[in-house]
Amino acid sequence: MGICFGKRKKSTAEIVPQKQPTTTVRLYGSPSSTNYIRFALKYKEAAVSLRCMVVARSNDDNDDNDEDYRNLVVAMEVEEGGSSSEPAERVSGPPNTLLQLIEARFPHPPLLLQTGSSSETQPTSLVAAVVKLTELQHRSLAWHLERLVRWVMDLLKRPGKERGGVVDPTVGSARMEVRKLGRNYSQLLELMLEHAQMEERLLFPIFNYCDPGICKAANEEHARDLPIMNGIKEDIKSIEVLDIGSRDYKEALSNFSKRLKSLQERYRQHFTEEEREVLPYMEAAELSKEQQQRLLDECLDVMQQSHSSHLFNFLLEGLLPREAMHYLELISMSTNKQRTTSLLHMII
C-alpha cells in the first residue's frame, strides 16, 4: 500500500478538520492493472485534494505485462476524508467504466468527450487511429513550439543581471534559462525528426501509391525544414556562451526569436495542409485490416524514442489531459501491449 504519485506536502486540510477534507481513492489490484486509472487520477490531482493508494489483492499476484489493461477488472473505493460517518463508496469494473465514474465525480479537468462516452473517444477503424495519432502529434509539436517562442520573448524582456544580485529560485538566472531552453529544444527536435520520419517512411508511400505526387510538397517541406531546425540548435549553443545582457547577446537572442517564429509559422501551415489535404486520403487507400494493424504498429516502432521513457512525458506535456488520455487509448490498439503497460508504469 502506498501513495501513487510521490510524497505530498501536508496541506492545511489534513491538519485542520474544519477545512475541506482530502478525498482518498483506493484501487484494489496489481500495479499493472491499476496504472491506467492512476494515470487518469494524476490529471485530477491538480483540481482536487486527492490521494491515490493501491491495495494489492491476493489474487492479483500475476503482473503480466502482455495483458491488455482495457480488459482488466479493477475495484475502486472513494472516501471523503474526515467524514467517518459516511461509508466509502466502492465500485468495480473495467478501466473505461471506472474512468466514466471518476469523470462524473471529479469533472475537472475533463478527460472524456462531453458525452462522457468512452466509446466515442475510439476511432472507427485502425486507419482512423493512425490519422488521429498523427494529428495529436501535430498538437503536441505546435504547443511546444509556441512555448519556446514565449520563452525566448520572456528572456528578451529580462534585464542583463538579476535585480540586486538575487536569483529567483523558481526561474533561475538568464544563463540557466538559456540552457534549459536548449535542452527543451533538443527534445522537441528529436520528436519532430521522428514524426517526420514516420510520415515519410510509412504514410507518404501509401498516399503516393493511391495518387503519385500527392505528397511531393510535404516531402519538400520536410527536406527544407531540417537545415533550419539544426541551425536553430546551433544558435542556442552560440547564445549560451555570450555575456548575458551584452549587446551581442541581445542581438543573437532577437535573431533567434525571429528564426523560431518563422519555423513556428511554417509548421503551423504545414500541419494544417497535411490534415486538410493529405491525411483524408488515408481512408481512400482501402487497406486491409491486417495492413492497418501493421501500419499502426510500425508507426509506433519508428517513433521508438518518442514512445519510451526518454520522450513520452514530453510528448504528453504538449496535449490537453483529454487529448493525452485519447493518445494513450490509440497506442493501446497496437499489438504490442507490453509497450503500453511499460509506458504507463514509467509515467506513474
* Per-residue pLDDT tens digits for 47-74: 777 777 787 765 554 555 556 666 677 8
**Domain assignment of residue 41, given as a range:** 23-58+69-105
The verdict on residue 259 lying in a domain is yes
The verdict on residue 116 lying in a domain is no
At 16 the pLDDT is 38
77 and 145: one domain? no
Backbone angles phi, psi at 23, to 5 degrees: -90, 125
266 and 150: one domain? yes
140 and 268: one domain? yes
At 67 the pLDDT is 61
The verdict on residue 196 lying in a domain is yes
- Give whichever of 123-127, 204-208, 310-314 has the largest mean pLDDT: 310-314
Other beta carbons within 10 angstroms of residue 218's beta carbon come to 20
91 and 134: one domain? no
The verdict on residue 280 lying in a domain is yes
Residue 5 — pLDDT band, cuts 50, 70, 90? very low
Q: How many structural domains comprise the chain?
A: 2
130 and 101: one domain? no
Which domain CATH number covers 45? 3.40.30
The per-residue pLDDT of the chain, averaged, comes to 79
User: Measured in Å, how far apart are the chain's first and last C-alpha atoms?
Assistant: 15
At 172 the pLDDT is 63
Q: Is the pLDDT of residue 345 over 90?
A: no
Q: Are 266 and 274 in contact (CB under 8 A)?
A: no
At 82 the pLDDT is 52
At 14 the pLDDT is 37
Q: CA triplet 114, 317, 112: central angle to 5 degrees?
A: 15
pLDDT digits (tens, 9 = 90+) for 80-134: 765 555 566 788 888 888 888 888 888 888 888 654 444 344 566 889 999 999 9
Residue with the larger pLDDT of the pair 33 and 196: 196
Q: Is the pLDDT of residue 11 over 50?
A: no
**Least confident range of 14-18, 93-97, 242-246:** 14-18
At 297 the pLDDT is 93
The verdict on residue 112 lying in a domain is no
100 and 137: one domain? no
204 and 289: one domain? yes
Q: How far apart are CA 239 and CA 254, in angstroms?
A: 10
Cell matching residue 190: 528529436
Percent of the chain with pLDDT over 70: 79
Q: Within 13 Å and on the Cβ side, how many CA atoms surround 187? A: 23
Residue 12 — pLDDT band, cuts 50, 70, 90? very low
Which domain CATH number covers 242? 1.20.120
Residue 290 — pLDDT band, cuts 50, 70, 90? very high
133 and 95: one domain? no
Q: Are 19 and 12 in contact (CB under 8 A)?
A: yes
Q: Are 121 and 233 in contact (CB under 8 A)?
A: no
Q: Are 11 and 73 in contact (CB under 8 A)?
A: no
86 and 209: one domain? no
At 140 the pLDDT is 96
The verdict on residue 98 lying in a domain is yes
Residue (of 39, 18, 28) closest to 342 by Cα position: 39
The verdict on residue 274 lying in a domain is yes
98 and 238: one domain? no
Q: How far apart are CA 184 and CA 248, in angstroms?
A: 23
Q: Are 137 and 195 in contact (CB under 8 A)?
A: yes
79 and 136: one domain? no
Q: Is the pLDDT of residue 251 over 80?
A: yes
212 and 278: one domain? yes
Under 8 Å CB-to-CB from 29, ≥6 apart: which residues?
Answer: 54, 56, 57, 60, 72, 73, 74, 75
Residue with the larger pLDDT of the pair 125 and 324: 324
Backbone angles phi, psi at 29, to 5 degrees: 160, -175
Kindly state the average pLDDT of the residues 217-243. Answer: 81
Residue with the larger pLDDT of the pair 120 and 43: 43
The verdict on residue 12 lying in a domain is no
